[in-house]
């Protein structure tokens, strides 16, 4: 899941990184590595979306705001697999009234299915200088 922009608190999000419900999966970025996404993994995930015409949003925490984390960085470092932290935009995360858009559930299913069908072909063409 990902923090969707709440209409009453729009100013809590970066202007160009305001995930909304019903607009596709959200790739989560954080310079302090609170999320496992890297430039390479974000690119691969976006390429799958582009090939299959699936919407993607991106989330970056404001510099002056704290942020939570996911288990992504811990798992990725332990197994050495390239990882992208992504999820469905939702409101009221960790409350008893979490909500998300029903269309996003279908987008998530389509994107994950497309990822398994397309990843090897995209990855084979990728040349990364480290």
Residue 91: predicted pLDDT: 92
**Residue 100 and residue 28: Cα distance in Å, rounded?**
16
Region 64-68: mean pLDDT is 70
Residues 7-29 have pLDDT tens digits of: 888 887 888 888 999 999 999 99
The mean predicted confidence, pLDDT, of the chain is 89
Residue 113: predicted pLDDT: 97
Task: Check whether 130 has a pLDDT greater than 80.
Answer: no
The class (CATH top level) of 2-6+16-122 is: alpha beta
Strand partners, 58: 27
**Residue 65 and residue 80: Cα distance in Å, rounded?**
29
Task: Show me where the domains of the chain are located.
Answer: 2-6+16-122
Residue 81: predicted pLDDT: 85
Q: Are strands 25-29 and 56-60 parallel, antiparallel or unpaired?
A: parallel
pTM of the entire structure?
Answer: 0.87
């Amino acid at each position: 899941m990902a923090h969707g922009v709440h209409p009453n608190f729009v100013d809590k999000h970066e202007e160009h990184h305001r995930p909304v419900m019903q607009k596709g999966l959200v790739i989560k970025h954080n310079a302090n590595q609170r999320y496992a996404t890297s430039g390479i993994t974000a690119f691969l995930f976006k390429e799958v979306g582009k090939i299959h015409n699936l919407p993607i949003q991106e989330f970056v925490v404001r510099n002056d705001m704290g942020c939570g984390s996911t288990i992504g960085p811990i798992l990725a470092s332990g197994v050495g697999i390239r990882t992208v932290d992504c999820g469905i935009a939702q409101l009221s995360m960790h409350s008893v009234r979490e909500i998300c858009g029903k269309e996003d559930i279908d987008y998530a299913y389509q994107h994950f299915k497309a990822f398994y069908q397309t990843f090897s072909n995209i990855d084979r063409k990728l040349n990364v200088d480290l």
